[in-house]
Chain A
Amino acid sequence: MLAAFACGLVFALGLGLSGMTHPGRILGFLDVFGTWDPTLVFTMAGAIGVHMPLYWLTVRRRAPVLAPRFALPTKRDLDAKLLGGSALFGVGWALGGFCPGPALVSVFGGRSDNFVFLIALVCGMALRKLGTVPAVAQAGRT
């Protein structure tokens, strides 16, 4: 579990370095037709440029180093949940300037607006789960 901790730590360092923890920057990125701040394009290019080749090299292995198998999604269909949820995320992202990672990392920044966003974020997730968890528990019992 030290491995997961270390990866999370490095991930957070990358988020801070890239400027993703500045909501104003994200809002500037989404304002393509205004005063556009393309910084996030470079972050995504850096992240995907590194991760894509290394990911494909990694999954050529029979198994991960510390786990019995790779946990990869198998779904391929585009459904209403995927697209509707992502559309909602886009709207919220453009209103608050945070996606979940930077919202977590910013907790120690000491800004009350950052904190309010994070609490609301977790409430939003819990609200969604309230609908699905009882169904899962039910299915587990039968």
Chain B
Amino acid sequence: MGHLASNMAPLAALAGGAVIGLAATGLMLLLGQIAGISGMITGLLTPVAAEWPWRGSFIAGLLSGGLVWALIDPSVFGHIPRPLPLVAVAGLIVGYGVSTGGGCTSGHGVCGISRLSRRSIAATCTFMAFGIATATLWRVLVGAVR
């Protein structure tokens, strides 16, 4: 076992998480939809037009939130500490993976676990386990993870 990073920000993380939880609750209470971001993007790529307006609006909201952060505090964004070709491969794998697995950290992780969904709990344990295994392999074979 290693040691803890020195630049943790547990309170901001807890508060940010609570805000995410509120946003997910808002979407369920108002529109009855699960806040699954990969499903929304994937949905916009498929010809089921009835779902486009709310999915498109949520994603426009996400992008606008990013614009707000860019204006008030661009330090929330960060560099990906990997060579560019690997960044592209990572993006492809994540896109293909979440489309196949039917969700990511938001839909399976936050919403699915809150709903006590068996599938989402299994999915979250799986991507956490494979993420940790990959990061560990990277450190052993390549060097510093970040």
Binding site for B on A (CB under 8 A): 1-25, 27-28, 30-52, 54-55, 58-59, 61, 63-67, 69-73, 75-78, 81-101, 103-114, 116-129, 133, 136-137
Contact = CB atoms under 8 A, between A and B. Distances in A.
Interface of B: 1-5, 7-35, 37-38, 41-42, 45-47, 53-70, 73-74, 76-82, 84, 86-102, 104-106, 108-111, 113-115, 117-119, 122-124, 126-136, 138-139, 144-146
A16 B94 contact: no
A39 B35 CA distance: 22
Given A7-B27, A108-B63, A121 B94 contact: yes
Determine chain B's interface SS by DSSP, over half rule.
Answer: helix
B135 A27 contact: yes
A5 B80 contact: no
Determine chain A's interface SS by DSSP, over half rule.
Answer: helix
Contact of A12 (B42, B68, B100, B102): B68
Given A18-B12, A22-B78, A59 B28 contact: yes
Given A18-B13, A125-B96, A129-B99, A87 B77 contact: no
A41 to B, nearest CB: 8
